Amino acid sequence: MAVKEITYIPAKITMFSALSLGEDVKKRVAAYARVSTDSEEQLSSYEIQVKHYTNHIKSNENWEFVEIYTDEGITGVSTKRRDGFNRMIRDALDGKIDLIITKSVSRFARNTVDTLTTVRKLKEKGVEVYFERENVYTLDSKGEVMLTIMSSLAQEESRSISENVTWGQRKRFADGKVSLPYKYFLGYEKGSDGLPKVVEKEAEIVRMIYRLFLEGKTVSYIANHLTNLKIKTPRGKNKWTTTTVKSILTNEKYKGDALLQKCYTVDFLTKKKKKNEGEVPQYYVKNSHQAIISPETFDLVQTEVKNRSKSTHHLNSTSPFSSKIECSECGGFYGSKVWHSNSKYRKVIWRCNNKYKNKEKCKTPHLYEKDIKEEFVKAFNNLIGNKEEIIKECRSIVLNLTDTESIDREILKLKEECSVIVELMKSLINENARKPMDQNTYNQKYNFYAERFETTKNKLNKSEDKKQDLISRKNKIQMFINNLKLQGQIISEFDEVLWCSMVEKAVVNVDGRLRFIFKNE
């Protein structure tokens, strides 16, 4: 048998082994300080922490001062958005730090997973963390157990704080107290009474957005228009997006109302938010603050938003005549066409978009833009000539549309029926939970109630839509009356604003005559 050979391999001298051998190698020490709010009191504590750790590290002759890493005015239970913390961990993993000192586990991280994951990464690289308050060294044998316990307590504390904050918010919602993200909300600032106060310069931009939309301009046109005017977005950016414009057009706060708890926090650790789709209560507060847009105008815009979303026709805002001129033969819209585009005889005409699409081509003729304008001037002046009589007729229509008593009774009845069905379903579920039931019988009854509820809910939705249509029509006619009253005299030339605000559409007959349908019809 061969003779056993043993070769001695000496240990590598690291900083820690050198220290144990009594060699004069200094530990590179850093500290981490954080405050969770930007209040004056907390910032004072923050400054004290920085000063304390700087003096503490520099006073130890066995330590080499690296840096005080800080995060100021940051809340939350995740380490993802803490720049100072993340930079410190990167430096430690890169071998620039040997020891990190911090006040407590809760200052380091309130999330057990974050704390343990980070500490273990550092441990693998031989980097130690010392938590002063808990007197825990992470490279100590007892450190892991103590750290797990302390982190769990910190996490529960965070959960408790989160739940208290949520409770406070929901209590404010239930009391109808409105709070806006004023820094990013166009048109309002926080008033001395704590309520939203109108900023008139910004409110004019909001009113312009609503006016342009009702004049037939698309959301993309409005976004480009605001960008070209060099108007800043609510977040202070130069370029407007269609999403920003649409959010302004559909936010009920501009009419002085407030829908509270539109979204809610799903997870207190990640602070992830979700749109509230019935999971938690909502509160609608009418007349909660000063309006920028009248309720009538706001409702008109919502109807227009709804109608445009249903329409299959592509709306183009480059011309006031787009989607306003209709063919009497096929019901399609007229579109602009260019004749002789590359010659001196170039002409722009308007023609039915479906003229050559059907088996039989539409007999309605093409129109020149100047002829459309001239016909509108004649029709509008005729309207002005009969202004008083037309206003009287419109007011009579508005009076009839205001009477929604019968439909209100129907809506109330359907709501009550829905409530009864819901109670029956609850009772059935409770009965099934309390005592044994034949599950086939239970399922049949449950499905019967569910189908009955869906049927009733659909009827309710149709009735509410019908009422909303009546209100929208009433508002549209009232706006027509107001515009007509403001126009005191006949016009001599085409006015695009009048065209957009007064004309619903113009129908082209086969003989080329135009029939103008104004917004009072």
CA distance 28 to 92: 10
Measure the N-to-C terminal CA separation of the chain; round to a whole number of Å: 113
Residue 308 pLDDT greater than 50, yes or no: yes
Tokens 């088996």 belong to residue: 359
pLDDT, tens digit (0-9, with 9 covering 90-100), for 239-280: 999 999 999 998 888 888 877 766 655 444 445 566 655 555
Residue type, 225: H
CATH superfamily of 182-310: Putative Large Serine Recombinase; Chain B, Domain 2 (3.90.1750.20)
What pLDDT sits at residue 282? 62
Is the model more confident about 244 or about 74? 244
Whether 154 and 116 have beta carbons less than 8 Å apart is answered as no
Distances in Å between the alpha carbon of 83 and those of 35, 99, 513? 13, 19, 70
Beta strand pairing status for 188-190 and 325-327?
unpaired
Q: When comparing pLDDT for 14 and 101, which is higher?
A: 101
What's the topology of domain 15-162?
A: Rossmann fold (3.40.50)
- Picking from 330, 381, 320, 387, the residue whose alpha carbon sits closest to that of residue 354 is 330
Cβ atoms of 520 and 477 closer than 8 Å: yes
Which range has the worst mean pLDDT, 6-20, 56-70, 472-486?
Answer: 6-20
What integer pLDDT is reported at residue 143 of this predicted model?
65
Spatial distance between the Cα atoms of 51 and 84, rounded to a whole number of angstroms: 17
pLDDT confidence band for 315 (50 / 70 / 90): low
Tokens of 100: 């990190």
pLDDT at 476: 79
pLDDT value, residue 16: 39
pLDDT tens sequence across 360-415: 888 999 999 889 999 989 988 888 888 788 778 877 777 777 778 888 899 999 98
Distance of alpha carbon 189 from alpha carbon 289, whole angstroms: 12
Distance CA 217, CA 316 (A): 8
pLDDT beyond 70 at 115: yes
User: pLDDT higher for 320 or 10?
Assistant: 320
Quickly list DSSP for 60-75.
-TTEEEEEEEEE-S--
Distance in angstroms (rounded) separating the CA atoms of residues 382 and 387: 9
Tokens 């820690």, residue located:
16
Q: How many CB atoms lie within 10 A of CB 289?
A: 19
Portion of the chain with pLDDT greater than 70, in percent: 76
**pLDDT bracket for residue 238 (50, 70, 90):** very high
Non-local (6+) Cβ contacts of 371 within 8 A are none
Mean pLDDT of the chain: 78
Per domain, the residue ranges of the chain are: 15-162, 182-310, 325-518
Comparing CA positions, the residue from 217, 518, 218 lying closest to residue 376 is 518
Pairing of strands 196-198, 272-275: unpaired
Q: What is the mean pLDDT of residues 225-249?
A: 92
Burial bucket for residue 367 (CB in 10 Å: 0-12, 13-18, 19+): buried
Position 7 confidence tier, pLDDT thresholds 50, 70, 90:
very low
Six-digit token string for 9? 């391999």
Distances from the Cα of 130 to the Cα of 55, 100, 122, 139, angstroms: 17, 6, 12, 9
Q: In whole angstroms, what is the distance from residue 501 CA to residue 270 CA?
A: 48
Which has more pLDDT, 74 or 416? 416
3-state secondary structure 148-183: HHHHHHHHHHHHHHHHHHHHHHHHHHHCCCCCCCHH
pLDDT digits (tens, 9 = 90+) for 23-48: 457 899 999 987 654 444 444 567 78
Q: Quick one: CATH architecture of 325-518? A: Orthogonal Bundle (1.10)
> Where would I find the H helices in 180-254?
200-214, 219-228, 242-249
Q: How far is CA 506 from CA 303, 325, 483, in A?
A: 21, 5, 19
Distance between CA 249 and CA 309 in Å, rounded?
14
Backbone angles phi, psi at 515, to 5 degrees: -110, 115
What are the structure tokens assigned to 84, written together?
């100072």
pLDDT attached to residue 272: 58
Contact 180, 210 (CB under 8 A): no
Q: In whole angstroms, what is the distance from residue 272 CA to residue 269 CA?
A: 8
Please state, as a whole number, how many other Cβ atoms lie within 10 Å of the Cβ of residue 233.
18
Query: Measured on CA atoms in the order 58, 59, 61, 63, is the torsion positive or negative?
Result: negative
